[in-house]
Amino acid sequence: MVKNRLASENSKAVSETKIRIPLWIYPSTEKLMERLITYDNCKSPSEFIEKAIHFYVGYISEKDSSRFLSKTLTTIMRGMLDDTENRIATLLFKQTVEMAILMNVVAAMADVDDETLRKLRIKCVEDAKRTNGSISLAQVVRAQRESR
């Protein structure tokens, strides 16, 4: 039996004696393992299999699988999401300002009573739901012409 020192997750060194177990794998799996052993800096198939088992056990045990992603990849993804969130927030703010300007201009030019405004709001909500929020000015102009 071979002695081996493994580092546990809390960085305490644990001395264990390795055991031999029967392992049945397909030849294609063995070829894949042989190809990737050096890629993962493993010295033997046993080391590769043991690393794979530890990874898989940790993966199925953890709810947060980000532990198994590269820290660099996780950092990059978080940065990209933060940038995207900031861009969307900025665009939504600009769009809100432009909508407020448009609404003030329309309100100053049109004399719309409360009941007409309520009906228009209901119609616009229905249109937005029906078109999944994709409404163009051309569509609205055509609809207004048809309703006259």
The pLDDT profile of the chain, 148 residues, written as one tens digit per residue, is: 344 434 443 333 467 898 999 999 999 999 999 999 988 889 999 999 999 998 888 778 766 656 666 777 878 888 999 999 999 999 999 999 999 999 999 888 988 899 999 998 998 899 889 888 888 888 888 888 888 7
Residue 37 · residue 48 · CB < 8 Å? yes
- Report d(CA 47, CA 34) in Å as an integer: 12
Range of the domain at 145: 113-148
Helical axes 45-61 vs 27-37, angle rounded to 10°: 100
Name the residue among 42, 43, 49 with its Cα closest to residue 19: 49
pLDDT at position 3, please? 41
* Same domain (yes/no): 129, 98: no
pLDDT at position 8, please? 42
pLDDT at position 54, please? 86
- Report d(CA 55, CA 41) in Å as an integer: 15
* Same domain (yes/no): 77, 124: no
pLDDT at position 67, please? 62
| Domains: count for the chain | 3
- Report d(CA 36, CA 30) in Å as an integer: 10
pLDDT at position 5, please? 38
* Same domain (yes/no): 118, 84: no
* Same domain (yes/no): 55, 11: yes
70: number of Cβ within 10 Å: 10
Residue 26 · residue 32 · CB < 8 Å? no
Q: Which of residues 15, 34, 68 is at a domain's end? A: 68
